[in-house]
Amino acid sequence: MIDLWVPLLVIILFIGLIRAAVTNNTSTRIAAMGLGILGGLVGALAVYNSIYWLHPRIAREEFLAMGLFFPIIGIVGGILALTRPAVAGALMLVSGIGSVIAVAVFLPPFWHQATYDHASFALITGGALSLVAREKGPATGKVATVLGIVGGFLSTLGSWSYIEFLLRPGRVLGAEVLIFWVIFWGLLPLMAIAGGILALRRPGIAATLMLASGTLGLGGFVATGFLDFMLFYVFVGLLLILGSALALASCEKRQQKRLSS
């Protein structure tokens, strides 16, 4: 039943983005608070409800301790979003990114792992919203910031999966080819995140970085024939292209404002 939370998380995510675009900073903080608290709770429930299906050799206490650590940080970040947006944003980003790393490295496969991943998506978005809530600038630039940061962190999932695929035993690749693809897939998320960070201050550069990250990522998956994450990366690419368009719109507004003044 916990997987029924996933559509609700997606709806709240886009409500948060719309709030950031059309209302004031208080509404943005409220959206960040909702994403942080709900994302943390759903992540915690995903872990707790999975202990009954764990392999008998896996220690339940260790699984709970590792699995609940980052969702609890996200809940604390959500609670602080109204009063301490910078601290709250940092906590939610640590929670979301830490959850992704925990699933990839530390936690064994578990029943509600997909829901745990969706919860980390909400936490990263809440963290980005909380950070931009205190910034001055056009609403389009703020939404571009959120899309760049979220799209960048999400693209790491596809990039890491392909790098892991390249490094599997038995694959015969030249050293030059391997180095090229590792650098290529490693740079794409960094370009998107950098574009999100720069969206409010250097929207032209930000738009270029996000557009390049989104289109090169899509092209890379098509060129390599690695279709396991194709639909996922189409979604990420669309987020980044939308962020690029909003950053360009923000750049045009800044130029019009300068000309009028």
244 and 258 co-located in one domain: yes
Separation CA 261–CA 259 (nearest Å): 5
User: Where on the phi/psi map is residue 43: left (φ > 0), alpha (ψ -120 to 50), or beta?
Assistant: alpha
Look at residues 151, 162, 153 and name the one whose alpha carbon lies nearest to residue 235: 151
100 and 161 co-located in one domain: no
Lowest mean pLDDT among 96-105, 159-168, 223-232: 223-232
Q: 99 versus 2: which is more confidently predicted?
A: 99
176 and 90 co-located in one domain: no
Separation CA 245–CA 44 (nearest Å): 36
Q: Looking at the predicted structure, is the pLDDT value of residue 75 above 60?
A: yes
pLDDT at 236: 83
4 and 121 co-located in one domain: yes
74 and 150 co-located in one domain: no
141 and 186 co-located in one domain: yes
Give pLDDT tens digits for 160-175: 766 777 776 766 666 7
Separation CA 32–CA 234 (nearest Å): 25
Tokens 């292209």 found at: 241
- Which of 134, 158, 180 represents a domain boundary (last residue)? 134
What is this structure's pTM? 0.76
Domain extent, residue 15, equals 1-134
Q: Looking at the predicted structure, is the pLDDT value of residue 261 above 80?
A: no
122 and 188 co-located in one domain: no
Amino acid, single-letter form, for residue 197: I
142 and 86 co-located in one domain: no
- Which of 99, 134, 169 represents a domain boundary (last residue)? 134
199 and 157 co-located in one domain: yes
- Which of 134, 168, 203 represents a domain boundary (last residue)? 134
- The structural domain count of the chain equals 2
171 and 80 co-located in one domain: no
pLDDT at 102: 84
Compute CA distances 110 → 46, 50, 56, 68, 120, whole Å. Answer: 9, 6, 12, 13, 15
26 and 130 co-located in one domain: yes
Q: Looking at the predicted structure, is the pLDDT value of residue 240 above 70?
A: yes
Lowest mean pLDDT among 150-154, 166-170, 213-217: 166-170
169 and 94 co-located in one domain: no
Give pLDDT tens digits for 188-207: 888 999 999 899 888 999 99
